[in-house]
Amino acid sequence: MYRYTDFDAAFVAERNAQFRAQVERRIDGSLTEDEFKPLRLMNGLYLQLHAYMLRVAVPYGTLNSTQMRQLAYIADTWDKGYGHFTTRQNIQFNWPKLRDVPDMLDALAEVQMHAIQTSGNTIRNVTADHFAGAAADEIADPRPVAELIRQWSTDHPEFQFLPRKFKIAVTGSPNDRAVTKAHDIGLRMVRNDAGDPGFEVIVGGGLGRTPMIGKVVRDFLPEADLLPYLEAVVSVWNLLGRRDNKYKSRIKITVHEHGLDDIRARVEERFALLKPAFTGVDQQLLASMKADFAPPAFTDRDTGPFDLAYANDPLFRSWADTNLSAHRAPGYAIAQISLKAHGATPGDATSDQMRLMADLAERYGHDELRVSHEQNIVLPHVHKADLPAIHAALKDAGLATANIGKISDIIACPGMDYCALATARSIPIAQEIATRFDQLKLEHEIGDLKIKISGCINACGHHHVGHIGILGLDRAGVENYQITLGGDHTETAAIGQRTGPGFAADEIVPAIERIVDTYLSERTSAEERFIDTFARVGMTPFKTALYGEADKRAKAA
Amino acid sequence: MPAIFTPKVITANALIEGDVVYLTETDTWSRRLQDAEVLTDEADAQIRLIDASARTDEVVGAYLADVKPGKPGPKPAHFRESYRAKGPSNYPHGKQSEAL
Amino acid sequence: MTVLINDTGFLTEDPTRWIDPEARIDLASDTDPAHLRSMLIGKELVRIAFPSFADGRGFTLARLIRQQGYKGWLRAQGHVIADQYAMVRRSGFDDVEIDDTLAQRQPEDQWLARADWQAHDYQTRLRGIAA
């Protein structure tokens, strides 16, 4: 893992001192609220519905046990004993007081963490494949590059007051687990015909009010050209992006309005001007970051304990079947800890649960944890022989839910239970769906199915790319939920299609049940996933199930 | 014909604590909606809002929220204000947990 | 009236007072970057407007002008707050011009607190030379 240099530590300390002074200057009137707001946002501090909210960066979703324990300490000391892991691999604390926040930031700095640029019109915390460095299908570990981007984007003087937020994601695997096509810039690590490392650069993706799948702006960017090229893209957009309408300010709209070729030409021109400013020092730093992310020393051990538990313990077997993924090292597995216990708030963990996960990572997992954009925690490097002990410990802490990738593994934004921007609640809908399908005992019969819920058009819950997407809206003073089907968050990214009119809060769970029943009766076999059945049969049978034959006839007449 | 002015209260978030507050008749900020002054005259409401918004060392983001007048005090007219007055639905946190 | 600010604090004299009016130019924040080179021929003082502190285009315009080789005086003028002083200097500006009321609200010490803009700068570190 990356360890702060003296430079990083001094930077964060200075930044925290500045923020402490900014809080006092807001209180004494030196800063107006209008001026303070972007300053607090670029330090991760929101003012939400009921309280302030601090969003802490977990760069590219990677943290160690000491850091996880410190998050638990912060939750206990300044919050209500829990934290909320987000779709951008961050963690949010929902109840801090303004004057406590500088102390919370200092506590984070003690373990080499910060909340810088987790909000505001800045380049946000860079995200990456949560299986980075562990996945069997990986070409290269994206985290050294993500760390380089973190350093380049942090406090970049040109990019602190952009037209809008700017999100970058990196993947080192052809199987895209970082949703790169739904980011302002997505980077796919590739090699050219000569075998040189580089990137496919995707620009202008994004969800929100106008969902768009990103477009390839550069087929192959040599590794060494990354920073000047990123700087060129953001620099071009900073001048060209619309500032008159915040719904049209993201780069996806700029690309759409000017056309990909025009943007590409502007970027290449700026890149040519910028490139000489980078003398190659960044590549030396990148080389040392690569060393920081060297794989741990894997050991060759007997997997007997795993095989025994798998054969004899049905609970363990069920968990192993759903929550484990293929690791590159023989005898190892990637284990996902579900933060989606049926009926619980998706992505929430108590401080006790955080400490337990930290202990397990330290004892069995080469001291590494990951936050996934699907709001679960990952132990990326565990030997199979240790999995029965890990599972037993998780079970005692309510963390052994065997549902990764299943219908109750729901992404949900905080929605109107917390968020000032929300138009409806998300969390109770997720809780009810998970509880209902757990009662029906249909979860494993249904198989892989991604439900994603957002409480407003901004789409923090990624509803557009859910196999089943749910969008909560305010319809004439009542919460109303629109359904989309057929969204895809992977390398074959697609935006879901709306089924039709929305549903009231008490109609949404039965509506989801009718969709699932339709899938179960339409699928050719248990091997055909929901998304494949939808691709084959289309919207019609689902529409009929949702709105009935009468509705179809009325529309046809 | 101008739209009928429905009863409103002035609400905001406290600068230091961040929680929801309501403006009372005596120009203090209360944590409870039932203490809020109900404004029924549009011109009066706009003046009261301008004055409340100027109290930037106390609150952030003051605005007028629709209410239904009643006893012992006004009730939220919209679900968003119900949640603000009560707290989140997934945990017993916020105003619903505080002895008010 | 306005106040000029550089690393030494609030200035009592304008260091550019000797520059001819013809060699001065004011640029709006929405200036088309394609026209910059021709607009700046023969200019010795360029003032870039910040109509709002939240309008960050001036930072990119400044860096672009410097990257294109402009060596004259570069001034950020308008609604720039003390918290942006390091960004202004790192983007290539020489000084800042703000109005009196802002200078009263954010007095000299708040600007001097950011006068060490060369320290803790990731850009210098990543480029190996001053950006």
Would you list the domain boundaries of chain B? 8-88
Structural class in CATH, domain A411-556: alpha beta
The whole-angstrom separation of Cα A182 and Cα A489 is 8
Q: Do C56 and A159 count as a contact with CB atoms less than 8 A apart?
A: yes
How far does A7 lie from chain C, in Å, by closest CA? 7
Q: Where are the strands (E) in A242-385, listed by range?
A: 324-326, 332-337, 348-350, 369-371, 377-383
- What is the per-residue burial (b if ≥16 Cβ within 10 Å, else e) of C34-47? eebeeebeebbbbb
Q: Which residues of C touch A (CB under 8 A)?
A: 33, 53-57, 59-61, 63-64, 67-68, 81, 83-84, 86-88, 90-91, 105-106, 110, 113, 119-123, 125-129, 131
Counting as low any pLDDT under 50, the low residues of chain A are: 557
Q: Determine how β-strand A451-454 pairs with β-strand A411-412.
A: parallel
Asked if A300 has any chain B CB less than 8 Å from its own CB, the reply is no
Asked if A32 has any chain B CB less than 8 Å from its own CB, the reply is yes
Question: Is residue C10 domain-resident?
Answer: no
Q: Tell me what pLDDT residue B98 has.
A: 80
Q: Do A51 and B91 count as a contact with CB atoms less than 8 A apart?
A: no
- Return the bridge partners of A195, or none: none
Q: Do C60 and A280 count as a contact with CB atoms less than 8 A apart?
A: no
Residues from chain B contacting residue A46 (CB–CB below 8 Å): none
Confidence category of residue B99, pLDDT binned at 50, 70, 90: low
The answer to whether residue B7 scores a pLDDT higher than 80 is: yes
- Return the bridge partners of B21, or none: B12
Q: Do B79 and A478 count as a contact with CB atoms less than 8 A apart?
A: yes
The partner residue sitting opposite A417, judged by closest CB among B20, B61, B88, is B88
- Give C39's contacts (C-beta < 8 A, 6+ positions apart): C25, C27, C31
Question: Is residue C7 domain-resident?
Answer: no
Asked if A109 has any chain C CB less than 8 Å from its own CB, the reply is no
Tokens of A399: 């963390």
Q: Which residue is it, tokens 């106390």?
A: B58
CATH code (residue C78)? 3.20.20.70
First-to-last C-alpha distance (Å) of chain A: 64
Side chain identity, residue A131:
F
Q: Tell me what pLDDT residue C131 has.
A: 43
Residues from chain C contacting residue A227 (CB–CB below 8 Å): 126
- Return the bridge partners of A77, or none: none
Query: HSE (CB half, 13 Å, CA atoms) of A420?
Result: 16
Asked if A27 has any chain B CB less than 8 Å from its own CB, the reply is yes
Whole-number mean pLDDT of chain C? 96
Closest-approach residue (CA) in chain B for A428: B90
Q: Do B88 and A478 count as a contact with CB atoms less than 8 A apart?
A: no
Side chain identity, residue B72:
P
Chains with 3 or more CB pairs closer than 8 angstroms to A?
B, C
The partner residue sitting opposite C128, judged by closest CB among A157, A235, A281, is A281
Q: Tell me which CATH code domain A304-396 carries.
A: 3.90.480.20
What's the pTM value of the predicted model, to 2 decimals?
0.96
Residues from chain C contacting residue A159 (CB–CB below 8 Å): 56, 59
Q: Do C59 and A161 count as a contact with CB atoms less than 8 A apart?
A: yes
Closest-approach residue (CA) in chain A for C127: A278
Most B-contacting residue of A36, A45, A48, A50 (CB-CB within 10 A), to test interface: A50
Asked if A476 has any chain B CB less than 8 Å from its own CB, the reply is no
Residues from chain C contacting residue A279 (CB–CB below 8 Å): 127-129
SS3 of residue A15 by DSSP: helix
Q: Do A239 and C54 count as a contact with CB atoms less than 8 A apart?
A: no
Q: Check residues A491 and C18 and name the one with the higher pLDDT.
A: C18
Residues B32-80 pLDDT 10s:
999 999 999 999 999 999 999 999 999 999 999 999 999 999 999 999 9
The partner residue sitting opposite B19, judged by closest CB among A32, A51, A427, is A51
Q: Tell me what pLDDT residue A549 has.
A: 67
The fold adopted by the segment(s) A142-292 is: Sulfite Reductase Hemoprotein; domain 1 (3.30.413)
**DSSP string across A361-372:** HHHHSTT-EEE-
- Give A163's contacts (C-beta < 8 A, 6+ positions apart): A121, A237, A238, A241, A242, A243, A249, A250
Q: Do C59 and A10 count as a contact with CB atoms less than 8 A apart?
A: no
The whole-angstrom separation of Cα A403 and Cα A468 is 16
Q: Do A235 and C64 count as a contact with CB atoms less than 8 A apart?
A: yes
Q: Do A238 and C57 count as a contact with CB atoms less than 8 A apart?
A: yes
- Return the bridge partners of A187, or none: A170, A201
Tokens of A142: 């994206």
The whole-angstrom separation of Cα A85 and Cα A346 is 8
Q: Tell me what pLDDT residue B2 has.
A: 65
Task: Beginning with the edge strand found earlier in the chain, give each strand of the sheet holding A82-85 in spatial order.
Answer: A45-47, A52-56, A91-93, A82-85, A348-350
Domains identified in chain C, total number: 1
Closest-approach residue (CA) in chain C for A19: C83
Residues from chain A contacting residue C86 (CB–CB below 8 Å): 157
Side chain identity, residue A189:
M
Residues C40-55 pLDDT 10s:
999 999 999 999 999 9
The whole-angstrom separation of Cα C53 and Cα C50 is 6
With touching defined as 3 or more inter-chain CB pairs under 8 Å, the answer for chains A and C is yes
Query: HSE (CB half, 13 Å, CA atoms) of A18?
Result: 27
Residues from chain A contacting residue B93 (CB–CB below 8 Å): 50, 80, 94-95
How far does A66 lie from chain C, in Å, by closest CA? 26
The partner residue sitting opposite C126, judged by closest CB among A14, A239, A285, is A285
State which residues form the domain around C32: 22-127
Question: Is residue C3 domain-resident?
Answer: no
Q: Tell me what pLDDT residue A557 has.
A: 46
Q: Do B20 and A49 count as a contact with CB atoms less than 8 A apart?
A: yes
Nearest to A427 by CA among A418, A438, A440: A418
Q: Which residues of B touch A (CB under 8 A)?
A: 13, 15-20, 56-57, 60-61, 77-80, 83-84, 87-91, 93-95
Q: Tell me what pLDDT residue B65 has.
A: 98
Q: Do B19 and A33 count as a contact with CB atoms less than 8 A apart?
A: no
Residues from chain C contacting residue A10 (CB–CB below 8 Å): 120
Q: What does the DSSP 8-state code read for residue C23?
A: G
The fold adopted by the segment(s) A6-110 is: Sulfite Reductase Hemoprotein; domain 2 (3.90.480)
Nearest to A168 by CA among A208, A199, A209, A125: A125
- Return the bridge partners of B39, or none: B8
Domain with CATH 3.90.480.20 in chain A: 6-110, 304-396
Q: Do C61 and A239 count as a contact with CB atoms less than 8 A apart?
A: yes
How far does A192 lie from chain C, in Å, by closest CA? 26
Q: Do A97 and B13 count as a contact with CB atoms less than 8 A apart?
A: no
Cis previous bond, B72, omega within 30: yes
Asked if A476 has any chain C CB less than 8 Å from its own CB, the reply is no
Burial of B28 (0-12, 13-18, 19+ CB in 10 A): exposed
Question: Is residue C107 domain-resident?
Answer: yes
Q: Tell me what pLDDT residue B3 has.
A: 77
Taking one residue from A and the other from C, the number of pairs with CB-CB distance under 8 angstroms is 106
